[in-house]
Amino acid sequence: MSDMNKRVADFIKKHQLLQKDKHYLVALSGGADSVCLLLILKQLGYSVEAVHCNFNLRGEEAERDEMFCVSLCEEQHIPLHRIHFDTREYASSHHVSVEMAARELRYRYFAQLCQDLSATAVCVAHHQDDTVETVLMNLLRGTGIHGLAGIQPVSYLKAMSKPFPAPLTVVRPLLCLSRSDIEQYLENIGQSYMTDSTNLHADETLRNKLRLEVIPLLQQVTPSVKENIAQSARYIHEAGKVFDEAMKEHVTKVMNGNRISIKLLKTTPSPEYVLYTILKDYGFSSPQVEQMGERLDAESGTVFCSSTHEVLIDREELIIEPLYQMAKPMQIPETGTYLYHGASGGMNTDEDSTMRFRFSLAEMNMSEIPHDKCIACLDAAAVTFPLTIRPVQQGDRFVPFGMKGSKLVSDYLTDRKYSLFDKRRQLVVTDSSNRIVWLVNERPDNRFCVTNHTERVLQITVTP
């Protein structure tokens, strides 16, 4: 076994990246890195097939690279899978950059192919220099501890589209090698490879500018800068493990379901970072969390929004919920059973958004009047159809059962310590004159309740 093969074999063993009894895909571009990866994995005895993606971005050069991959795989007797993408069209229609479009397209294809071929993972040819460039890129953009840990040997990508619900496993066996190691290895064995001309121009991407201009300048100051940055990234990655364990403890301490205790949050060493650890998974950016952290003492009812979720300050808690969409009113022309599709939003949206309302008439019998907040018993003579089920509106008033004077619904719900999120989901049933007859699952309106003079009862029952 050559020195290079041994270094890669040791790295694979150390990080438990591959197994000899499993099957893997290798992303093959035709460049030095991927050619090296394919040959070493084959020589180490792993079961592999190659995958080449043509993004149709570089004209004849892209065709040249594809034909090289075909020829290489034929020589090595390795199965090759090829696909062509209209990357610019995808980027335009999905409103993403060409670079992001290429990433989404290839990883979606990799996920599909892994399922079709029962492959355990896709192997990609990131190496030590890629980690150095990634660390510098993240540093320039402003990043947390994980951004400074560079590229990791294994990552798990969530499925980006149906019907591929399983995540894609991506492994990087060459992170123990530098670009010069790889090029020297291929030269020693007399193996040719293709060069992407876009990587030779510093003005193409930030990564190119760092590789071709910034890193050479840093090497003039410290010749071992790449090795030092790579080593620092490894240290930070290890420190990140300790950091993550501590964060888990703090998150568990301050969070209960979809609620964060502001009081407990303030007792943590870094309330802002604990908050960011929780909210980054709900679409909130670092600047948004910073603003939120500065306003933890804001009055109840303050709301912060991401593209997918909202955070509400409610007394001593932060409440997280998906973005709210108000439900539409539903008219009830006569007695019967109706399905009402409620507001979207809330942590249990899928289970709770649809409710069954049953409207029925019965003869009056005081002994059979149920005492259940999910059932309203009203004097049928006082209630006129059509009825309407709708969310509560600003200015709504009703006369709570047992009271004589009217009260704003919002004040009633505030007295009940309902949050803003709870209030806007509250439903009412109104009569033909838009008078509230029932504050659903709370109280009927006293004006419509049964009395000793009631002859027929309109019973409204609601169930999820």
| DSSP code at position 395 | T
Instruction: Give the separation between CA 309 and CA 327, rounded to whole angstroms.
Output: 17
Would you list the DSSP string of 207-276?
HHHIIIIIHHHHHHH-TTHHHHHHHHHHHHHHHHHHHHHHHHHHHHHHEETTEEEHHHHTTSS-HHHHHH
Q: Which residue has the tokens 């800068």?
A: 225
Q: State yes or no: pLDDT of 349 exceeds 50.
A: no
Residue that the structure tokens 């969409």 belong to: 325
Q: How far apart are CA 314 and CA 260, in angstroms?
A: 10
pLDDT score of 141: 84
pLDDT value at residue 160: 58
Task: Name the burial class of residue 428, with classes exposed (0-12), middle (13-18) and buried (19+) by CB atoms within 10 angstroms of its CB.
Answer: buried
Please state the separation of Cα 366 from the chain's center in Å: 53
Q: What 3-state DSSP class applies to 387?
A: strand
3-class secondary-structure state, position 363: strand
CA-to-CA distance for 301 and 324, rounded, in angstroms?
15
Rg (CA), the chain: 32
Among the listed ranges 136-140, 262-266, 429-433, which one has the minimum average pLDDT value? 136-140
The count of residues in the chain is 464
Question: Rounded to an integer, what distance in angstroms lies between the CA atom of residue 104 and that of residue 113?
Answer: 14
**How far is the C-alpha of 380 from the C-alpha of 448, rounded, in Å?**
8
Residues facing 23 on adjacent strands = 47
- What confidence tier does 308 reach under pLDDT thresholds 50, 70, 90? very high
What are the φ/ψ torsions at residue 32 (nearest 5 degrees)? -55, -45
How high is the pLDDT of residue 187? 96
Q: Report whether pLDDT(342) > 80.
A: no
List, for residues 400-411, the tens digit of each pLDDT value.
998 888 999 999
Q: Is the pLDDT of residue 146 over 90?
A: no
> What pLDDT digit, counting tens, does each position of 30-89 carry?
999 999 999 999 999 999 999 999 999 999 999 999 999 999 999 999 999 999 999 999
Q: Return contacts of 238-242, CB within 8 angstroms, 24+ apart.
A: 239/145, 240/145, 240/146, 240/149
Tell me the percentage of the chain whose pLDDT exceeds 70. 95
pLDDT at residue 167, rounded to an integer = 80
**Mean pLDDT score, 122-128:** 97
Contact (Cβ atoms closer than 8 angstroms) between residue 7 and residue 14: no
Q: What is the mean pLDDT of the chain?
A: 91
Say which residue the tokens 């995540």 belong to.
167
With left for phi above 0 and alpha for psi between -120 and 50, is residue 342 left, alpha or beta?
A: beta
What's the confidence (pLDDT) of residue 166?
63
- Tell me the pLDDT tens digit for each residue of 385-394: 999 999 999 9
| pLDDT, tens only, 256-291 | 999 999 999 999 999 999 999 999 989 998 889 999
Distance CA(232)–CA(229), nearest Å, equals 5
1 — pLDDT class (breaks 50, 70, 90) = low
Q: Ramachandran region of residue 232, left (φ > 0), alpha (ψ -120 to 50) or beta?
A: alpha
Exposure pattern of 119-138 as b/e (b: 16+ CB <10 Å)?
Answer: bbbbbbbbbbbbbbbbbbbb
pLDDT at 330: 95
If one compares 368 and 278, the residue with the highest pLDDT of the two is 278
Query: 234 pLDDT exceeds 80?
Result: yes
Tokens of 335: 């007695």
Note the pLDDT of residue 365. 81
Q: Which pLDDT does position 370 carry in this prediction?
A: 81
User: Which ranges of 118-224 does DSSP label H, i.e. alpha helix?
Assistant: 128-141, 179-188, 206-209, 215-221
d(CA 437, CA 446): 8
